[in-house]
Amino acid sequence: MGALGWILGLLLSPWVFVPLIYPGLVSAFAVLLFIIWFERKLAAKVQRRFGPYYVLRHLGGATQLVADLIRYLFAEPIIPEEADALAFVMGPALLFGLTLLPVVAIPVSGTFYAIRSDVSLLIVLALLTLGAAMTLIIGWAGNNKFSLIGGLREGFLSMAYEIPLFVAALSMAAAYGTLDLVDMVEVQAETAWGVALNPLAAFVFLVISFLATSRFPFEISEAESELVMGPFTEYSGIMYGLTMGASYLKYYVLCLLFSIMFLGGWEPVPPQLAAVPFGPGVVVFAKALALMALGVFLRAVYPRYRVDQAIRLAWHYLLPLSVASVFVSMGAAWLGLTGA
Amino acid sequence: MGGVEEVGGRGGRNPVVSLWGHLKAVGTGLKYLIAVPRMTVKYPDEVIELPDGYRGMLIYHQDLCISCGLCATICPANAIKMYLPSGGGGGEGGGEKPETPPKRHPGIDYARCIFCGFCVDICPTGALEHSKVHDAAYERVEDMLYRPEEFAAGPPTVEFERPPKRLRPVMDERRGISYEPVG
Ligand code: SF4
Ligand code: SF4
């Protein structure tokens, strides 16, 4: 009993729980399995089809993704002769790992976090940028024209989206008067949700999270009809599975961040959950999931932007809007709306 | 760029107009998500009644065939070839020519057939005819080749695990295709 208790205690300590269970690996996998199925179902319904159906028919093919995962696991991973083997093999694992890394700085509740820092927002934002570099390396390593073009597109796009993303996120820091995500939630609990305080920043942040994660309409770097699978063209088996999961994972991280910065984080905590130390995290999770559902719904609505259109959107519209959002934040703070 | 409108060009469109466009697109998506029924037919549990004139696998009436070979000539996919009767009997080579050389008959390779129906149209005696069978499955590609004797025996019959529901497509001005059960 003692050993079991010790293991349980270890698992429930924030330093293990956060990276491993929530919001880390386990819940990330659960989200992947759910959201990809949900995306396919939703797009199918809008297009008057059924989507996944035969794997566990009574639940609408809910285990389709598990079946896919098993298939990926047993498919032969092929390494092209001309590829840069080391970068090619390491790429997907690093991409997946680095994409998930920002969750370590995302607090689960006001009292439950792995890292509490004055600058946790900056940590999350900085860690978020690492994945794009891996996509570039992957695009190069495959030694394939499609992957090269896809990688370069990702490079162009990350140049274009990272600045407005940062400016929009930091404008919220200006509004709340803190860079600490825990404090941000507390400020929102006292005043109003971030979307109400600064809708402009929320809008920019949301559009950029679609742009940064190859969601439609910005599925540009992996444009299937032009580039096969963009940077990931040469991958097969589980390596392909990892690269495909990585963009959803990044979207998951951005949605968590969005819920904390703009949707009031874990507030309001239902009283049943307040007793469990990581209970309030469920609220953040639910908000993030709802947000992800919105993003995957857009897939069924939009065709793809061209790369130049997306870059123009980012530089011509999103960047000025994000700068404007800084002024909105300053105005809100000046009017005393944020209590800062 | 005479006459070609550059969509989303440098000047861009009025952002308010394009925002309205985005909202309309999302609205249409939502409408389809909630209100518009699916059109998928859950084959093999549901099966569509096929219309007359459907170009399925072929029926070959050997008694009508005059071995003219037009079907093999017209076939654009080279699916039909003329075969000598199996089990010997003359053929080319061989020293002495028989009085009447054995007739050749068409055989079909369904791995090649594109179901264009040219052979049916050109056959002067109506020896070829379409059936409505379209969903036969084969384990080996060699099995898809039917020599004249097998061709004459008719297309394979398809068996369903459960008896399927039969549906008839109905064109609807507003909803597009929908299906109603028959019988
Ligand atoms: S249907 Fe067309 S392709 Fe098929 S055997 Fe006849 S002529 Fe050839
Ligand atoms: S099936 Fe018709 S077209 Fe073909 S050889 Fe016989 S008679 Fe001629």
Contact call for residues B117 and B55 (beta carbons, < 8 A): yes
Q: What is the pLDDT of residues A136-171, one digit of tens each?
A: 888 888 888 888 888 888 888 888 888 899 899 888
Q: Is the CB of B57 within 6 Å of ligand 1?
A: no
Contact call for residues A43 and A299 (beta carbons, < 8 A): yes
Strands annotated E in chain B: 46-48, 58-60, 80-83, 105-109, 128-130, 145-146, 165-172, 176-181
Cβ of B15 under 8 Å from any chain A Cβ?
yes
Query: Residue B162's pLDDT is what?
Result: 84
Mean pLDDT confidence for A311-319: 87
A312 and B38 within 8 Å at the Cβ level: the answer is: no
B106 alpha carbon, closest ligand: 2
Contact call for residues A95 and A246 (beta carbons, < 8 A): yes
C-alpha triplet A318, A321, A326: angle, nearest 5°: 125
Q: Note the helical H segments in A47-180.
A: 64-74, 85-100, 120-128, 130-141, 145-176
B114 alpha carbon, closest ligand: 1
Task: Using a pLDDT cut of 70, give the percent of chain B over it.
Answer: 85
Picking from A42, A48, A301, the nearest residue to B25 by CB comes out as A301
Global pTM reads 0.78
Within its chain, how far is the Cα of A233 from the centroid? 22
Size of interface A-B (CB pairs under 8 A): 39
Q: How long a stretch of residues is chain B? A: 183
Identify the residue with better confidence: B150 or A304: B150
In this structure, what is the dihedral angle of CA atoms A330, A332, A336, A340, given to the nearest 10 degrees?
Answer: -60
Domains and their CATH numbers in chain B: 58-88+100-152 (3.30.70.3270)
Contact call for residues A79 and A89 (beta carbons, < 8 A): yes
Residue A1 reports pLDDT greater than 70: no
The chain-wide mean pLDDT, for chain A, equals 83
Separation CA B156–CA B142 (nearest Å): 15
What's phi and psi for B26, nearest 5 deg?
A: -65, -40
Q: What is the pLDDT of residues B42-98, one digit of tens each?
A: 888 888 888 888 999 999 999 999 999 999 999 999 999 999 887 654 444 445 556
Mutate to test the pocket of ligand 1, among B81, B83, B110, B114 (most ligand atoms within 8 A of CB): B114
Dist. CA B69 → ligand 2 center (Å): 5
Residue type, A81: E
* DSSP three-state, residue A29: helix
* DSSP three-state, residue A234: coil
A45 and B8 within 8 Å at the Cβ level: the answer is: no
What's phi and psi for B111, nearest 5 deg?
A: -70, -20
* DSSP three-state, residue A101: helix
